């Protein structure tokens, strides 16, 4: 009996692909010379999708696969998968929470430190030979006395907060609702949070609901000593407004691991000396990416074996809600 058919639209880690190859008949769409022809040939057999590499799984693709049962997304964020459409078609979507919390939180704090203390700028200063003739200027910012406002106090947000507390930072947060078991100061809007703090850490999901959540008004509220750190999704920040805020010193600095049109980064951002920019490496360690890939495999195999999904997303809860 042949293994069930699985569609893989984009490349994934070799270890993940090997594990899926052992459990499924994997159709690697990115290798096809004519992807549309391949899709047409397997459309009535595909029951599984492994969505890695920011594979875009929209309603058109979901509707084109009448036997589709589950989409396993590689990543805790799943804005590249139309989960609402999947729910309408009775398809379960899973993601990879928990396994990347610690590495992302580590990177978030590293980016905060690098931005506040100008670590990349100081590195360039040394490499250019300038230390031979002058000392690096004193940095205008320090972590001392700062209050960190976390936009999105979920699993990763809490891991960041624990680290920030160890650095002596006060913590406040914004979310859709106050969390009863959290002692940090809660603010009912992002603008209110920005007014109350001098450092904003963004760690909310992407998508239409959070698009440009950080806009010119929020940046103005953050103020001239303000520092913005984004390890969430580029779409959450209005990049044009951010460029203007950095250029005009409406805020002091920004550290960004994500951008609106990755891997394209605006030249205007790269030209700024008060922006630290990283190529979306929040979870990019071998340890964590392997764990994420294994959770993709585990979700798909569990579903294949009739045990249900391990980490379904909110739009497709399991067991399914009764009508």
pLDDT of 294 above 80: yes
Please give the DSSP secondary-structure letter assigned to residue 52: -
Query: 312: Cβ–Cβ under 8 A, 6 or more apart, which residues?
Result: 92, 93, 94, 318
Domain 5-98+287-304 classification at class level = alpha beta
Residues 238-277 pLDDT 10s: 999 999 999 999 999 999 999 999 999 999 999 999 999 9
pLDDT at 269: 98
**Using omega within 30 degrees of 0 as the cis cutoff, is the peptide bond preceding 235 cis?**
no
CA dist., res. 85 & res. 315, Å (int): 9
pLDDT of 122 above 90: yes
The percent of residues in the chain predicted with pLDDT above 70, rounded, is 99
Q: Which residue has the higher pLDDT, 209 or 323?
A: 209
Q: Are 229 and 259 in contact (CB under 8 A)?
A: no
CA dist., res. 241 & res. 91, Å (int): 38
pLDDT of 1 above 80: no
pLDDT at 320: 84
pLDDT of 322 above 70: no
The percent of residues in the chain predicted with pLDDT above 90, rounded, is 96
- For the CA atoms of 112, 116, 117, 120, what is the dihedral angle to 10 degrees? 70
**CATH assignment of 101-277, given 3.30.2320.50, 3.70.10.10, 3.40.50.720, 3.30.420.40?**
3.40.50.720
Domains 5-98+287-304 and 101-277 share a fold: yes
Residues 202-246 pLDDT 10s: 999 998 999 999 999 999 999 999 999 999 999 999 999 999 999
CA dist., res. 125 & res. 123, Å (int): 5
Mean pLDDT across the chain: 96
CA 179 to chain centre: 22
pLDDT of 321 above 90: no
Please give the DSSP secondary-structure letter assigned to residue 237: B
For residue 141 the two structure tokens come to 């910012």
Please report which confidence band the pLDDT of residue 178 belongs to, taking 50, 70 and 90 as the band edges. very high
Length of the chain as a residue count: 323
Instruction: Cite the active site residues.
Output: 233, 262, 280
Please report which confidence band the pLDDT of residue 2 belongs to, taking 50, 70 and 90 as the band edges. confident
Query: 142: Cβ–Cβ under 8 A, 6 or more apart, which residues?
Result: 116, 117
The average pLDDT across 149-155 equals: 97
Q: Which residue has the higher pLDDT, 323 or 246?
A: 246
Q: Hey, where are the domains in the chain?
A: 5-98+287-304, 101-277
Residues 13-67 pLDDT 10s: 999 999 999 999 999 999 999 999 999 999 999 999 999 978 999 999 999 999 9
């Amino acid at each position: 009996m042949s293994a069930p058919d699985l569609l893989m639209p984009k490349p994934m880690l070799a270890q993940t692909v090997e594990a899926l190859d052992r459990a499924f008949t994997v159709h690697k769409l990115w290798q096809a010379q004519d992807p549309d022809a391949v899709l047409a040939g397997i459309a009535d057999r595909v029951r599984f999708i492994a969505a890695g590499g920011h594979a875009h799984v929209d309603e058109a693709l979901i509707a084109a696969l009448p036997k589709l049962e589950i989409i396993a997304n590689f990543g805790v964020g799943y804005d590249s998968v139309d989960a609402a459409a999947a729910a309408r078609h009775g398809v379960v979507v899973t993601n990879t929470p928990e396994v990347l919390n610690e590495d992302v939180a580590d990177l978030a704090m590293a980016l905060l430190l690098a931005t506040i203390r100008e670590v990349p700028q100081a590195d360039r200063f040394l490499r250019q030979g300038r230390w031979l003739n002058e000392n690096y200027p004193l940095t205008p910012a320090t972590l001392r006395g700062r209050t960190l406002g976390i936009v999105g106090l979920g699993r990763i947000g809490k891991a960041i907060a624990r680290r920030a507390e160890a650095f002596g930072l006060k913590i406040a947060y914004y979310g859709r609702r106050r969390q009863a078991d959290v002692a940090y100061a809660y603010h009912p809007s992002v603008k209110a949070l920005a007014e109350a703090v001098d450092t904003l850490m963004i760690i909310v999901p992407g998508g239409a609901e959070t698009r440009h959540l950080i806009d010119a008004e929020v940046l103005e509220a953050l103020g001239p000593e303000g520092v913005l750190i984004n390890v969430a999704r580029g779409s959450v920040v209005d990049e044009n407004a951010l460029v203007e805020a950095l250029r005009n010193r409406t805020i002091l600095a920004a550290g960004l691991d994500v951008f609106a049109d990755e891997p394209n980064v605006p030249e205007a951002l790269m030209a700024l000396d008060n922006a630290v920019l990283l190529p979306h490496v929040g979870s990019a360690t071998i340890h964590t990416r392997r764990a994420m890939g294994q959770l993709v495999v585990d979700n798909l195999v569990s579903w294949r074996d009739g045990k249900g999904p391990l980490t379904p997303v909110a739009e497709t809860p399991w067991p399914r809600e009764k009508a």
